[in-house]
Amino acid sequence: MDWLGPEEWQAVALSLRVAFWATLAGLPLGVFVAYALARWEFPGKQILNGLVHLPLILPPVVTGYLLLMTFGTRGPVGGFLQDIGIVFAFHWPGAALAAGVMAFPLMVRAMRLSIEAVDPKLEQAAATLGASRMWVFATVTLPMILPGVITGAILAFAKAMGEFGATITFVSNIPGQTQTLPSAIYAFLQVPGGEGPALRLVLISVVVAMAALLLSEVLARRVAKRVGGA
């Protein structure tokens, strides 16, 4: 396709990579946190719930700044990670981290709803049949919440594709390293004559977002049918 320049392609490819890793890394943690919030009673549950949802409510710039303070090379966690060779700030994994944090609440909400819909009596029944907690989760809970997990993952992917505020604050806007789709659109709009490339990237954003939504609907419906409409 000639209508996208190399710089624009770079932005699209980077965005896909960032969103992919943000979703994949967030999935196990998302399922765990959603399960804990849906099923367990523990001290600090409301605090955990608040922390998970904070990125949804805070200005993205604030989230980005907090990430920079924590995971920047001078931050407490970032400094330690730098010593063992992992650098988030101003590198693409940082963009994935920012996107993952911003997408996390959406993912957890979808999963938590589907976990709450699973009757704990079925999990009890599985336990009486000899399944340990891990096996109950693997053979009963997880298959039954699969539609919610898929919906959550795809929503998170779409959100990660479009994350802007926290990303640009945390890892800046470096072409080829941290310039994701929205950052590229923003950059194009800052220079004269950039409307053309910007519009093309906007179209791509719209298509990706729509495709993600449709895909999640179709997949969730198909899986829901397979697991018995539960």
**Site for another protein, rule CB under 8 A:** 119, 121-122, 124-133, 135-136, 139-140, 143-144, 226-230
Shortest Cβ distance from residue 15 to another protein (Å)? 35
Distance CA(72)–CA(65), nearest Å, equals 9
What is the C-alpha to C-alpha distance for residues 190 and 166, in angstroms, rounded to an integer? 19
Please give the Cα distance from 125 to 127 (Å, whole number).
5
Angle at 106 between CA 100 and CA 107, to 5 degrees: 70
Q: Please say which residue, 74 or 133, places its beta carbon nearer to another protein.
A: 133
Q: By C-beta, is 147 or 165 nearer to another protein?
A: 147
Which CB sits closer to another protein, 138 or 191? 138
Task: Please tell me the distance from the alpha carbon of residue 215 to that of residue 209, in angstroms, as a whole number.
Answer: 10
- Give me the least distance between CB of 103 and another protein, in Å please: 27
- CA 9 from chain center: how many Å? 22
Task: State the minimum distance, in angstroms, from the CB of residue 7 to another protein.
Answer: 47
Report d(CA 91, CA 18) in Å as an integer. 11
**Smallest separation (angstroms) from another protein to the CB of 143:** 5
Q: Which is nearer to another protein, 126 or 204 (CB)?
A: 126
